[in-house]
Amino acid sequence: MSTASSFYITTPIYYPSDVPHIGHGYTTVAVDALARWHRQAGDDTWMLTGTDEHGQKMMRAAAANGATPQEWVDKLVTESWFPVLETLDVANDDFIRTTQPRHEERVKEFVQAIYDRGYIYAGEFEALYCVGCEEFKTEAEVLPGTGEFEGLKVCAIHSKPLELLQEKNYFFKLSEFQDRLLELYRSVPDFVRPDSARNEVISFVKNGLKDLSISRSTFDWGITVPWDESHVIYVWVDALLNYATAVGFGTDEEQFARRWPAYHVVGKDILRFHAVIWPAMLMAAGVEVPRGVFAHGWLLVGGEKMSKSKLTGIAPTEITDVFGSDAYRFYFLSAIAFGQDGSFSWEDLSARYQAELANGFGNLASRTTAMISRYFDGVVPEQGEPTEADIHIQRVVARAAGDADAAMERFRPDEAIDAIWTIVDALNGYITENEPWALAKDDAQRARLGTVLYTAAEGLRALAVLLSPFMPQATAKLWDALGIDGALDAQPIRDAGMWGQLPAGTTVGALAPLFPRVEQPA
């Protein structure tokens, strides 16, 4: 059994044949922020990401580049996919690649186990396949081609022609799981979130499930079906199992019991695989289903789902080179309601960077630390008898911390940031109203000046802790400047709203601008 405080969270595993873009980065930073939050709260946290390396798409990409699939995938993962994690400052605990033996061996055992339990049979198959999605398509998901694809049937997502495949396949008896899946969605109402995703999944399952083709015999870049070496396991069955094999399924039962079940965060494009097929596979094997699946929306560029194949792709470094990784993380997690689509634009990113980060949070941090240096020789003053205005700030901090934690529990980083930002706004207003620079001119107001600056600095202490999962770099700098004993990552985030943790007498250091002015990209 898993313990109550275990928090295991996953990103989808990415197709390395695609060039990493800000859409992939969006999922990854959301999962990283959720994991960092839980880690900072003291939960037994594990964050997994990785790459989905088998399948026809990868095989063709390798052939087009004159390499073997393994050579090609090794190159892509090392040169393009590992570096993204550094670019975005991601603190994943593990990275799984589906070509690793720890994965391949366990996948065979899993598939053999559900075969032995009678959930797999052999049959004939003919259907339209999209290599981009690595998925067979129903008529409803097919559009007539236009332009160069006139007269052909194209995939509604990729706008590329579909291929008619006829094969002997092995099938998974997905149709037998309709009732059990509906019962799962009923008894665990937040199994699929948000509600729009849950409703879509329920109506899809209610319409009836077809058995799923789970093997391919026309190419060999995959994991061999254990009882029939002429077939490889369908790439999605192979890929979904990463979530279990990475935490010791079939090898390290202790680790598996400690971590499993997982929360999966996925783009809405791959919701059905996670909320329908994956739990059914686990039910067939007699393994506990995931704790939940959260589907977020798409990043749109110029109104379309951003993707490399449609040439709207933007590399994460295009943003981080100019604005830094904290701004990337903050922007995507605050500007888009998690669960809905959101449009990316450079103008919006620049405007928010300037207003919220540079002028809002950054300026609050610089002026507070600078005034403590100037008026108190860099030593945090005592807090005197609080006025209504001071108590208001204390309440804002307490409420923000509670609301942010509740929002993170609901998988809503955007709402958590909104809650935390009430502290930034309240403190900036408080400083403007209390005019410490005016108080500093009057010796009789010395104690009052101390209280005002204590209040601002203690608010910054709470902000550093609460924002650390979103902006690890800026908050680490701020924490250093505040000079508090103890590491930032050792501060329990669920206690961050308790007032008075910053000891008077602490020496505050200099703070370089957290969000410097940037050269606008052309």
Residues engaged in binding ligand MSP (CB under 6 A): 12-15, 18, 23-24, 26-27, 52, 239-240, 266-267, 269-270, 298-299, 305-307
Q: How far is the CB of 315 from ligand MSP (least distance, A)?
A: 13
**Among 54, 103, 108, 133, which one carries the catalytic annotation?**
133
Measured at the CA of 425, the angle between CA 424 and CA 429, to 5 degrees, comes to 115
Residue 155 annotated among the catalytic residues of the structure: yes
For residue 111 the two structure tokens come to: 């598939």
Residue 274 annotated among the catalytic residues of the structure: no
Q: How far is the CB of 97 from ligand MSP (least distance, A)?
A: 12
Q: How far is the CB of 26 from ligand MSP (least distance, A)?
A: 5
Residue 392 annotated among the catalytic residues of the structure: no
Q: How far is the CB of 278 from ligand MSP (least distance, A)?
A: 8
Task: Report yes or no: 412 and 340 within 8 Å, Cβ to Cβ.
Answer: no
Residue 133 annotated among the catalytic residues of the structure: yes
Residue 292: in which H helix or E strand, if any? Answer: strand 292-296
Q: Which residues contact 390 (CB under 8 A, 6 or more apart)?
A: 383, 451, 452, 455
Q: Which is nearer to ligand MSP, 273 or 499 (CB)?
A: 273
* Per-residue CA distances from 176 to 198, 287, 515 (Å): 20, 16, 55
**Among 57, 103, 108, 130, which one carries the catalytic annotation?**
130
Q: Which is nearer to ligand MSP, 174 or 400 (CB)?
A: 174
Measured at the CA of 16, the angle between CA 14 and CA 20, to 5 degrees, comes to 75
Residue 38 annotated among the catalytic residues of the structure: no
Q: How far is the CB of 317 from ligand MSP (least distance, A)?
A: 17
Q: How far is the CB of 238 from ligand MSP (least distance, A)?
A: 9
**Among 21, 54, 231, 296, which one carries the catalytic annotation?**
21
Q: Which residues contact 245 (CB under 8 A, 6 or more apart)?
A: 96, 102, 103, 106, 107
Residue 236: in which H helix or E strand, if any? Answer: helix 235-240
Q: Of the candidates 458, 456, 464, 400, which has an alpha carbon nearest to the alpha carbon of residue 430? A: 456
Q: Which is nearer to ligand MSP, 24 or 36 (CB)?
A: 24
**Among 173, 305, 310, 392, which one carries the catalytic annotation?**
305
317, burial (CB in 10 Å: exposed 0-12, middle 13-18, buried 19+): middle
CB atoms within 10 A of CB 60: 15
For the chain, the first-to-last Cα distance in angstroms comes to 55
Q: Which is nearer to ligand MSP, 280 or 431 (CB)?
A: 280
Q: Which is nearer to ligand MSP, 15 or 221 (CB)?
A: 15
Q: Which is nearer to ligand MSP, 292 or 360 (CB)?
A: 292
Residue 153 annotated among the catalytic residues of the structure: no
Residue 210 annotated among the catalytic residues of the structure: no
Residue 24 annotated among the catalytic residues of the structure: yes
For the annotated catalytic residues, the residue numbers are 21, 24, 130, 133, 155, 158, 305, 308
